[in-house]
Amino acid sequence: MRILVDMDDVLAETCKKFEEIWKEKHPDLICIPAEQQPFYYFTDCYPKEYAPLIEEIRMSKGIFLSLKPTEGGLEAITEMKSKGHEVFICSSPLTGHETCASEKYQWVRHYLGKEWEKKTLLVPDKTVVSGNILIDDKPEITGIAVPSWEHIFYDRPYNRHITNKRRLTWDNWREVLKL
């Protein structure tokens, strides 16, 4: 089985890092905790006038390299691979971010080792990647192709309103995937 696993907010804690930086840079402004984020995009969670402040954080050099791993995620994909599954990290680079792609590869090398760099696919359109399963937190994944994979949600507050797809966490992934 070929399993594709998203990086941001699936293997790496992007929302928590944003929250941490936001509190540090803007302690006087409202802050939505990562575990309560109502929408996938940060800009949809805050007043429109905060958009430039949000963009400054999102586009900052080093942010992707500084992400902490999601608890249990690295162990889960390592176990999937050890059971004979083809496992790829499948992530979309942030358009316009000068170092996003290289930082994501560096993050993978740091936390999983050099061999996982070859198993990392950075693509703007995940629908063109072939697989059986895509584990991703994004509520809707669209692109130019009809996906070959089943989209299984990595459980996050902003995707819980969708109930017609399987969802998992790194605590229950074996039961959900039946592996």
Radius of gyration of the chain, Cα coordinates, nearest whole angstrom: 16
Question: Catalytic residue numbers?
Answer: 6, 8
- Per-position b or e across 11-49, b if 16+ CB within 10 A of its CB: bbbbbbbbbbbbeeeeeeeeebebeebeebebeebbeee
User: How large is the angle between the packed helices 14-25 and 51-58, nearest 10 degrees?
Assistant: 120
Tell me how far apart the alpha carbons of residues 151 and 162 are, in angstroms, rounded to a whole number: 12
Of the CA atoms within 13 Å of residue 111, those in its CB half-sphere come to: 24
CB 152 within 8 A of CB 133: yes
Largest CA distance in the chain: 50
> Could you tell me which residues are beta bridge partners of residue 3?
87, 133
